[in-house]
Chain A
Amino acid sequence: MEHLIEVEGLYKHFPVKTFWGRKKGAVKAVDGVSFYIDKGKTVGLVGESGCGKSTLGKTIIRMNDVTAGRILFNGEDISKVKGRKLKEIHSKMQIIFQDPYSSLDPHMTVKDIIAEPLRVYRKLSEAEIVKEVSDLLEQVGLRADDMKKYAYEFSGGQRQRIGIARAISVKPEFILCDEPISALDVSIQAQVVNLLKELQEKYKLTYLFVAHDLTMVHHIADVIAVMYLGKIVEIGSSDDVYFNPKHPYTQALMKAVPKIEKDKVLDLNRDILEGDLPSPLDTQKGCSFCGRCPYAEEICKVNVPELKDDGTGHRTACFMHKKMQKNEIKFA
C-alpha cells in the first residue's frame, strides 16, 4: 500500500515570550510524531482537549509552520515549501473545520463561500461556477438553489455540509477533518460521517479524522492513533485499538465511553482518569502520562517510552506493557 502522507519526527512548538520579547519557553503542541497515512484510508486521531491533535493536523496540511521534522506528501517533502508551491499543495490538501459557525463567512452567500477556493485554483467562467456549485451542493445533500442563501439560514449540520462542499470543490487528495462532528447533534453526526464515507469512496479521498469520540472514530477510521500531550502513545488498526487497547491511557479513554448493557444501571464514575493534562509548557522527564498512570513505576519517571510494535502493526509507547501481558499487573 502506498503512503500518501508520511510524517517523520514532526515537532511544532509555539514560543512563549516575556514582556520584553525574550523567549521564555515553548508550548510543545506536537512533540516528535511519526506515522503515515495510506492512500484512500482514514486515520482517526483521538485524545483529550489540548493534547495537540488539531495542531498536528493543521501542521500536516501546512496551515502552521513546521518547527522540525519532515512531512512527505506523495513522497515529496512539503515541510518547508513556500509561496506558489505551497498554494499548489493546498489545493490537494483541504480542511473541514470543527465549528460550522465560525468556518463560514456570515456576510457571503453559499455560492461565494463554496466558490472561494474554486476561483483561486481553477479558472472558470461565472456560468461554470454556478454549475459546479450546484453540482457540489447536490453531492452533499443540499439543494442547488440553496446557493443564493446566506450561511446563517442553515442549521449546524447543513452548514457542515457546506464546509464539506467547499473542501471537495478543488478535488483534493487529502482532507483534514478537524473534529467535524463534535459540534453537531448526535442525530446529525451519523449523517455527516456517512456523507464523508460516501465521498471517500467516490473520490478515493484520504482522511485524517480528528475527534474525541472513540466510537465514531472506530466507525469511520481504518487506523486509530491516540495522542497524549503532543505524542502518539498508541497506534494500530481500528479494531485492535478499539477492542484491545494496550496503553493505560487508551484503556482509560475506552472506559470513559458509556456503554449500554441489558438491565444494568451503570456507574458512570468508575475508573475515570483523575487529574488534568499537565501543561505542555513544563518540561517533564520520563513518560508524559506517568503522573496520572495507575501502573507507573520508577522507569516511567526517568525514561521516555518509544512506540513498540507487538508484531501485528499495533504499536504502543509504554514500559509496563510487557508486564501487563504477562499478567504481572491485572487490569481493573
Chain B
Amino acid sequence: MNRWKRIKKAFLNDKGAIVSISFLILLAVISLIAPILPLNPNKTDILHLLEAPSVNHWFGTDEVGRDYLARIIYGGRISLVVGILAMVMSTVIGVSVGMVSGFFGGIVDSVLMRIVDVIQSIPWLILVTVVGIFMKKGLLSIIVVIGFFSWMEIARLVRAEVKSLKERDYIQYASFAGIGALKVICRHLIPAVMPTIIVAASSGIANAIMTESALSFLGIGIQEPLSSWGKLLQTAQSNLQNAVYMAIIPGFLIVLTIFAFNKIGNLLRIYLEPRVSEDLA
C-alpha cells in the first residue's frame, strides 16, 4: 500500500502530471455530460457558415453551419472511446500472446511469433483498409480493426521480458515449489511486466486515436453524421483558407491528449518499479 502512497506523492510533485491528469479528467467529464449540455452537433444553420469563434459559437461554425464546439465535444467522445477500447483490446491480446509465448517457449513460441511476423510484415494501413472495407461500417468495427492489428508490438515486448524473467531464481523456485503455470503468471510475471504494459498501453491509446484519424481521413473510419477529432481534422482541410481554427482546435486537442496519456504512462512506469520508487521517494 505504501507503494501507492509514493506514486500519489510523485504525481503531486510533478506539475506536468497534475496538468495531464486535470486535462484528462476534464475531457472525461465533458464527454460524459455532453448529452445534457444545450448543444446539438447535428443542427445545421445555413445563415451562419464558416463563422469565426464568437460569443454565440465559442469555436465558430463549420461548412454547413453546425456549432463547432458541439462537434468537437461529440468528436472527442468518439476519439476517446476508440482510443481506450482499442488499447484495451490490443493490450489484452498482446499480453496474453506474449506471456504464453515467453513462458512456454518451444513450438508454441515459434508458432505464435511467426504469426506476429506475418501480421507485422503487411503494411498495417493496407491491412486495416482491406479489412475495414469488408466489415460493416461503424464504431465497433473500427475499434475491433484497430485493436486487432496493433497488439504485435506489445506481444514482442512482453515475450522478451518474460523470457528473461523466467531465468530468475524466484520464478524457478515457484515452479519448483509446485505452483501451477497460471498462478506463476498471475502472481509473479504480470506484476513484473506491469511497467512495460503500462507504457505500451499509454502509447497504445495515442496510436489508436491517430489510426482512427487516418482511417477517417481515408473515408473508412467514422461515418457522417458522427464525428471524431481525426474526422474533423480531415474536413477542415478543404476549408483551411477560410477557417484555420477548424484544423487548429482538433489538432491541438489530439496532441494534448496524446501527451497527457504518455506523461502519465511514463510516470507510472517509473514508480511501479519497486526499487526505483524506493530511491526517488
Central interface residue in B3, B176, B188, B192, by most chain A CB within 10 Å: B176
CB of B219 within 8 Å of the partner chain? no
- From 170 to 190 in chain B, residues with beta carbon under 8 angstroms from any chain A beta carbon are 170, 172-174, 176-179, 187-188
Write out, one digit per residue, whether chain B residues 180-218 have a CB within 8 A of any chain A CB (1) or not (0). 000000011001100000000000000000000000000
Which of B170, B178, B278 has a CB less than 8 Å from the CB of A105?
B170
Q: Measured between alpha carbons, how far is A113 from B169 in the docked complex, in Å?
A: 13
Q: B174 touching A116 by the CB < 8 A rule? A: yes
B275 touches which of A95, A97, A102, A106 (Cβ 8 Å): A106
- A39: CB under 8 A from chain B? no
Whether A87 lies near B169 (C-beta < 8 A) is: no
Are A116 and B169 in contact, CB atoms less than 8 angstroms apart?
no
Chain B, residue nearest A166 (CB): B173
Q: Are A104 and B278 in contact (CB under 8 A)?
A: no
Contact B168 A107 (CB under 8 A): no
Q: Does A302 contact B (CB under 8 A)?
A: no
**Is there contact, CB below 8 Å, between A104 and B179?**
no
CB distance from A214 to the nearest CB of B (A): 25
The answer, among B173, B174, B188, for a CB contact under 8 Å with A97, is B173
- B173 partner, pick from A86, A95, A152, beta carbons under 8 A: A95
* A152 lies within 8 A of B169 (CB): no
Docked CA distance A90–B178 (Å): 8
Secondary structure class of chain B's binding surface, majority of residues: helix
Beta-carbon contact of A152 and B274 below 8 Å: yes
Chain A positions 64-100 with a Cβ under 8 Å from a chain B Cβ: 86-87, 90-91, 95, 97, 99
Q: Is the CB of B275 within 8 A of A103?
A: no
Partner of B170 from the list A63, A103, A152 (CB cut-off 8 Å) is A103
Question: A90 near B174 (CB under 8 angstroms)?
Answer: no
- What is the minimal beta-carbon distance from B37 to any residue of chain A, in angstroms? 44
A117 at the interface (CB under 8 A from B): yes
Chain B residues with CB below 8 A from A90, complex form: 176-178
On whether A103 and B173 interact (CB within 8 A), knowing A116-B179, A120-B178, A120-B179, the answer reads yes
Q: Give the complex CA separation of A103 and B176 in angstroms.
A: 12
How far, in angstroms, from A277 to B60 measured CA to CA in the complex? 80
Complex CA gap A301/B142 in Å reads: 73
CB nearest to A86 among chain B residues: B178
The A-B contact count (CB < 8 A) is: 52
Interface residues on A, range: 20 to 34
- Identify which of B172, B188, B191 contacts A63 (C-beta below 8 A): B172
CA gap between A86 and B178 in the complex, in Å: 8
Closest Cβ of chain B: how far from A5's Cβ, in Å? 17
Within the complex, the shortest CB–CB distance from B188 to chain A, in Å, comes to 6
Asked if residues B177 and A116 are in contact (CB atoms below 8 Å), the reply is yes
Is B170 within 8 A of A117, CB to CB?
no
- Tell me the B147-172 residues at the A interface (CB within 8 Å): 168-170, 172
Chain A nearest CB, measured from B213 CB (Å): 37
- The answer to whether B278 and A153 touch across the interface, beta carbons within 8 angstroms, is yes
Could you say which of B172, B177, B278 contacts A117, with CB atoms under 8 Å apart?
A: B177
Q: How far is the CA of A113 from the CA of B176 in the complex (A)?
A: 14
**CB pair A107 B169 closer than 8 Å:** no
A289 within 8 A of B: no
Residues of A close to B3: CB separation below 8 A? 150
**How far apart sit A283 and B274, CA to CA, in the bound complex (Å)?**
46
Q: Are B177 and A120 in contact, with the CB atoms below 8 A?
A: yes
Q: What residues of A have a CB within 8 angstroms of the CB of B192 in the complex?
A: 105-107
Least Cβ–Cβ distance between A224 and chain B, in angstroms: 25
Chain B contacts for A121, CB-based, 8 A: 177-178
A266 to B55, CA, bound (A): 92
Q: Within the assembled complex, what's the spacing in Å between the Cα atoms of A297 and B123? A: 67
Contact between B176 and A95, CB atoms less than 8 A apart: yes
Contacts of A153 in B (CB 8 A): 278
Residues of B with C-beta under 8 A to A86:
178
Q: Are A104 and B177 closer than 8 Å at their CB atoms? A: no
CB nearest neighbor in A for B194: A107
Q: Using Cβ atoms and an 8 Å threshold, which residues of chain B touch A107?
A: 188, 191-192, 274
Interchain residue pairs with CB less than 8 A apart (17): A63-B176, A87-B178, A90-B177, A91-B178, A97-B173, A99-B169, A102-B168, A103-B169, A105-B170, A105-B188, A105-B191, A106-B192, A107-B192, A116-B174, A120-B178, A121-B177, A153-B278
Given contacts A104-B170, A105-B192, A113-B170, 14 further A-B contacts (CB under 8 A): A61-B176, A63-B176, A90-B177, A99-B169, A102-B170, A103-B168, A105-B191, A106-B192, A108-B187, A120-B177, A120-B178, A150-B3, A152-B274, A166-B173
Question: Hey, which bits of chain A sit against chain B, CB under 8 A?
Answer: 61, 63, 86-87, 90-91, 95, 97, 99, 102-108, 113, 116-117, 120-121, 150, 152-153, 166
Sort A-B residue pairs by CB-CB distance and give the 10 closest, nearest first. Answer: A87-B178, A103-B169, A107-B191, A117-B177, A97-B169, A105-B170, A106-B274, A102-B168, A102-B169, A120-B178
Give the interface of B toward A (CB within 8 A): 3, 168-170, 172-174, 176-179, 187-188, 191-192, 274-275, 278
